[in-house]
Amino acid sequence: MLSILIPTYNYVCVKLVTDLQQQAERLECPYEILVADDASEDAFKRENRKINGIPNCKYIELQENVGRSRIRNILGRLARYDFFLFLDCDGGIVNADFLARYKALLDKADVICGSILHPSKQPSPDVSLRYTYEKHAEHKFTAQKRMQHPYAMFRSFNFLISRSAFQACPFDETIRNYGYEDVMMGLALGRANVSVLHIDNPLMNEDIEKNAVFLHKTEESLRTLYVHRQKLGYCTGVLRLYGILQRMHLIFSILLLYRLLRRVIRRNLLGKRPSLGLFAFYKIGYYCNLAKERK
């Protein structure tokens, strides 16, 4: 009935798999847990091979890095059952009935999106940017608010999808680098009129990136956004804002400010008390600069 599918890269997810397997045993239905490794470093692979010793669990090692979209599609092709539960490897179980909540709703929609939690206290000053950003946005992502825009709010961290819906709307494999693969899939689900239900069934984000890593990933995601801007249209905040700035002839002004203040802003964002306002400006400035350089 249920295939639990977990892509991983340079992360040990043995505890997550163990916790899921214990819950799955209580469901009294057929299940499997497949973990696909996207060519991690050897130290991570050695630890994750322990997964093969857990009943109904399999650890699959890819020989080359294929990216966040393709690895999920590979898992979907390998899955045996009719419902796929995709989870990120750095999630942590919060509730003892996490899987049972999904099972109880299998007939309610083709896609059921769970939620994400972050620690109540900041784990370290080194992660202040990602932590502050996520905690500030948390109130916007209740199930009730996500249901107002079910396709735009789709995220791949924690969701269940029927086999038929996944075959109709797989992840877009043209996205090889970090960012926007879930936004692209949300658009595909909307175009196919696939039913989507958002619920408050959380996993804990247990790997909040350090500031430098998060800023680097943000820049990578903006490069991904630029490459796929035609497919994404104006469904993201950065592209909508960029369109407004173009119509108001303000791109040059933003570029000038960004280039003058880039180093000062980066120091703030990499520090202990990052400003979310500066972070928002940095993103649109980075995108404007990228668009200018690539024209």
Domain harbouring 150, CATH code: 3.90.550.10
Low-confidence ranges of the chain (pLDDT < 50): none
The tokens for 172 are 């877009």
CA 126 remoteness from chain centre: 21
135 shares its domain with 191 = yes
Query: What's the pTM value of the predicted model, to 2 decimals?
Result: 0.95
**How far is residue 276's CA from residue 278's CA, in Å, rounded to a whole number?**
5
154 shares its domain with 230 = no
277 shares its domain with 169 = no
The residue range of the domain holding 125 is: 2-205
Position 151 scores a pLDDT of: 96
Position 100 scores a pLDDT of: 98
CB 102 within 8 A of CB 23: no
**How far is residue 228's CA from residue 223's CA, in Å, rounded to a whole number?**
9
Position 91 scores a pLDDT of: 97
94 shares its domain with 182 = yes
Q: Which of 154, 170, 205 is the last residue of a domain?
A: 205
Position 270 scores a pLDDT of: 97
Q: Which of 205, 229, 245 is the last residue of a domain?
A: 205
